[in-house]
Structure 1
Amino acid sequence: MYRKRAMYMAFVIALLTGRCTYSLGDGGYDLSQFRESAELSSVPDELRDIVPTNGEAARSISAQNDGGDLRFVIIGDTISDDNRTFRTFLGEIAALDPRPSFIVHLGDRVVSPVVDYYGTYLKTISDPPCPILHVDGNHDVREEGERISRAFFGDKDFFFDRDDMRFVFMSDVHGDGDFGFSREQLGWLEDKLKAPSPSRKFFFAHVPPKAPFKRINPGLSSLFTPRLENEGEFLDILARHNVVLAAFGHRHVHASVVHNGVLMIITGGGGQRNFLEPAVK
C-alpha cells in the first residue's frame, strides 16, 4: 500500500514538473554544434569571448580589491518565458546606485532542449551590468548542458578573494541525478576554508542541504530536497570554519535559517514557475 502511494505521488510530481515549459524567443546564439557533435567540449571559434569564464570573472572582481564597501547580487532558477523575468532583473540591477560588483547565478538557467535555451541565456548575459559567476544547476548539466557549461564557464568548483573575504563556489549536482559532494570535493572545500585569512567566508551551491531547512519540507515538498551525499560532513566543514553565509537555489522559495552559526539562505525562484512549494514566512 505504501509503495503504491509513493509511486502515485511520484507520478503526480513528474506530471506537474513536466509541464514546466517556457517560450524560447528568438535571437539566441546558435549552439547546435554541441548537439551535432558529442565530442565538442570547447567554445566554437565564432562564439569565443562572448561571455567570460568563471575564472575570468573572478579575476576581474578580485582586481577591484580597494577595501571599500562591497555589494553583490544572488539569484537563481531564472528560466522564464523569453527570459523576460531575468532580463527585467538585469535592468533593475543596472539601475542600482552604487552598482553591485558582481552577480552570483545559483543555477537552473535552462530547460530542455538545453542547446536552444542555453543559446538564449548566453545572448541575455552578453552585456551584463557587472560580472556574473555561474554555479551549475541540475537542469544546466542535462543533455548537452555539462559540455556547454564547461566550455563557456570553465571550472565548476572555484574561489576568489576580495579584500578580507573569500567566496567559494561548488557544484553539488551531477549528470546521474544525484545531489551532494564527493569526498574529493569536501577535501578541496576544507582546504579553501581552513586558512584564517581571509576571515569572512561565503559559500554558494545550487541544491540546499536538507537538515537546516526542515521547516519548509512538509509532505510532498520534502521530495524536492533529498539529503545531500555527505551532507553531515559538508555542514560540519561550514560550521567549523565559521562561514558567514551559505546561499542555495533549487527550491523556488525564499527561506533563511541560522544553522550551527552559519546563515543559510534559499534565494527563491528568479523566474521559474513554482509547483508544490510551501509558503514560507
Structure 2
Amino acid sequence: MKIKKIINITMLILCLCLIAGVGAFWYNAVNAYKISNDFVSVPLQFNPDAASSVYQTQNAQITVNGGFVKGIQKDEDGTQSIVIRALSPLPSITVTSKAATAVSLLVENINPDFYAKSIVGNNLPLTKVTVNTVQLNIAANPEETIKIDPVQPSGEDNTGQSKYIILGDNRDGYDIFGQIIQQVNGENPVFVIDNGDLVFSGKPNQYRLFDKMVSNISTTLCTTLGNHDIRGNGRSTYTMLYGPAYYSFDFENSHFAFIDSSPGWSEKQAITDEQYAWLEKDLSKAQGKDIFVITHIPPQDPRSGVTANEIPNFVNKIKSGDNFLEQKLDNYNETKAMNHGFQDPQEAEKFENLMSTYHVDTVYLSHIHSYLEYTKAGVRYLITGGAGAELLTKNSYYHYMIAKIGDINTTTMVELPSPANNYITRYTATAQLFSEALYEENPIAVVFIIIGFILLLFLVLIRIYLWKKQPLDTLWKWISDIGKYAVKRFKELFSKER
C-alpha cells in the first residue's frame, strides 16, 4: 500500500474520530436529563411556608410534608407509582380519597429501616426497594383520609444519639466523593447535608453522574444550590431531581433552614428578597429550638482575618528561596485578590444581623475549598468545602464534618488523604482531578478524541519522514554500511584461520 493512500485513510479516520468526539461532548452538554424511559416528572408544587407538596390524582389527593411529589414511575407490571422525594428524614404523607382507590407510593431519599420504625403504628405494607427507597401501597375507601405520620425520636431521651454529616463542594472530585459516600454509610447518620456545588457546570451528564453516585447513600441527602450547579440550564435539572431552592424541617429539637445563595458569585444580590422574607418568618417560628442555616456562599470571606488552619498530616511550609517556582506560586496566591463572600457588603451585614437577631446557632457554608470557622455576634459560621473539588487554597484538605443532634458546640472533622501542602503538587493534583472528571463525564467522547490525537501524531511523524526522507535514507545507509564493515572487520580480526 502506497504511503499516500495510508495518509488519506488516516486523515479520514482522524476526521471521523474528532467529529464523533466533539459530537458526543455536544450531546452530553445540551441533551436534557431524563431519569428513565419509565419515569415522567411533574412540575414542582411546593409551599415553603408549610414545607408541603400537593399532587392531585383522579381519585385522591396526595399531600407531603417534608418532601415533594417528584413524578410518576411505571412499574414492571404496568401499574404506576407516585414518586415522592424526601426533603427531611421523616416526611409525613396524607392520602385523601374521593372514591375507592389504591395508591402506590415510592418514597425515595430516606433511610428505609429508620422510616419503617417511625411509622410502625400505621400498619401499612412497606417494601424496601433500594438502599434509600421504600414502597407503600395504600387502599382507601371513598371519602377516607389516611395519614402516614412518622414519630420523631424524643429530643430529651435521644440527645447525642442522632448524628448528621455536613459536606460541600464535591463537584468533579468523584474519587474522593465516592470514598466519602462509603464512609458516610458506615456512620449511619439520620441525614447528610451537601451545601452546594454538587456538579461543575450544571450539565445534564454531570447531574446524571452525581445522581447515580448519591443513589448509594443509605439515608436522606439534604442539598442546596451552589454557583456551579446553576450554570447553563442547571437550575431546572436540579429542581426536577432535588426540588425547591429553599425549605426547612425540624428534627427532634433542632431546626434546619436551607437557603439558595448561588447567584451571589456573579450577581450583586446573593439571596432574593422573597427568600429573606420567608427566612425571617421561618426563623421566627423556630425560636426555642437549636437553629441551623445552610447555604453555599458565605456572607464574607474570612481568610484574611482567620489564623491559618494547619494540615495535621500534610504540612510542608515553603521556605523562601527553596524552590523558585514554588515561591512564585506562593506569592501569587498570597497577593491575588480573592473574595468568595457576598458581593454587596450591605447584604452581608443584613444576613449576619438576621442570623444574630433570630439566635441562629450555626450557619453551614462551603464555596471556599477549605475548612474555616469563625464567630460573629454570637453566631458560629462553619465553612466546609473539602468533599472533592480542587484544593488550591493554602492549608486546605479533603474532609467532611460529623455533628450530633442536641450538641450545638461540637463537630468532628474526618480528614481524607489530600495533596501535600505545596503549590506544585496541588496544581498537579488539580490537573489530574479535571482529567479524570472529564473522562468520567464523557468517556466515549474522550476515547474518540484520544484516538484522534494519536492518529494526528502518526500523521505528523509521516510528514516529518517524507520531509526528511532523503537525509534519513542517507543516514540509514551510512549506519548500515558501518554495521556491515564492523561485522566484516570483526570476522577478519577474530577468524579462526588467523
Structure 1 equivalent of residue 262 of structure 2: 173
1:172, 1:207 within 8 Å by CA — same for their partners in 2? yes
Q: Among the aligned pairs, what percent are the same residue? A: 20
Can you list the C-alpha shifts for 1:49-107, whole angstroms capped at 9, x where unaligned? 9x9645365626894620223210001111235x12111101111112xx211000011
Aligned to 2:452: none
Q: Highest relative contact order (Cα 8 Å, sep 6+), 1 or 2?
A: 1
The 5 A counterparts of 1:199-210 are: 199-210=289-300
Cα 1:56–1:204, aligned 2, differ >3 Å: closer, same or farther? closer
1:143/1:44 CA distance change after superposition, 3 Å: farther
Alignment CA distance shift 1:129-1:221 (3 Å): farther
Task: Label 1:194 to 1:112 Cα distance change in 2 as closer, same or farther (>3 A).
Answer: closer
Give the deviation of 1:251 after TM superposition: 0.3
The answer to whether the aligner puts 1:89 opposite 2:180 as a matched pair is yes
| TM-score normalized by the length of structure 1 | 0.75
1:91-106 matched pairs, under 5 angstroms: 91-96=182-187, 99-106=188-195
Larger radius of gyration: 2
State how far apart, in whole Å, the 1-side matches of 2:202 and 2:227 are: 14
The answer as to whether partners of 1:106 and 1:248 remain within 8 angstroms in 2 is yes
Distance across 2 between alignment mates of 1:170 and 1:200: 17
- TM-superposition CA deviations, 1:31-52 (whole Å, max 9, x none): 93349xxxx9857867999x96
CA gap 1:194/1:56 in 2 versus in 1, 3 angstroms = closer
| Amino acid of the structure 1 residue aligned with 2:169 | D
Task: Give 1:66's match in structure 2, choosing from 142, 153, 172.
Answer: 153
Q: What is the DSSP-based 3-state SS (H/G/I as helix, E as strand, rest coil) of the residue aligned with 1:224?
A: coil
Matched ranges for 1:137-176 at <5 A: 137-174=226-263
User: Are 1:279 and 2:368 counterparts?
Assistant: no
| TM-score under structure 2 length normalisation | 0.44
Change (3 A) 1:145 1:210: same
SS at match of 1:148: helix
Aligned equivalent of 2:53: none
- The 2-side partners of 1:175 and 1:223 are apart by 11
Mapped contact 2:193–2:223 kept (Cα < 8 A): yes
Q: Which residue matches 2:284?
A: 194
Consecutive unaligned residues in structure 2, runs of 5 or more: 1-27, 35-40, 44-69, 75-79, 92-109, 116-148, 307-332, 398-498
Matching of residues 1-281 of structure 1 within 5 Å: 32-34=31-33, 53=85, 55=87, 59=91, 63=150, 65-67=152-154, 68=158, 69-81=161-173, 83-96=174-187, 99-112=188-201, 114-174=203-263, 177-178=266-267, 180-195=270-285, 197-210=287-300, 214-215=304-305, 219-220=335-336, 222-228=338-344, 230-275=347-392, 277-279=393-395
The answer as to whether partners of 1:138 and 1:173 remain within 8 angstroms in 2 is yes
Change (3 A) 1:31 1:175: farther
**Separation (CA, whole Å) in 2 of partners of 1:175 and 1:212:** 16
Gaps of 5+ in 1: 1-28
Aligned residues: CA RMSD = 3.5
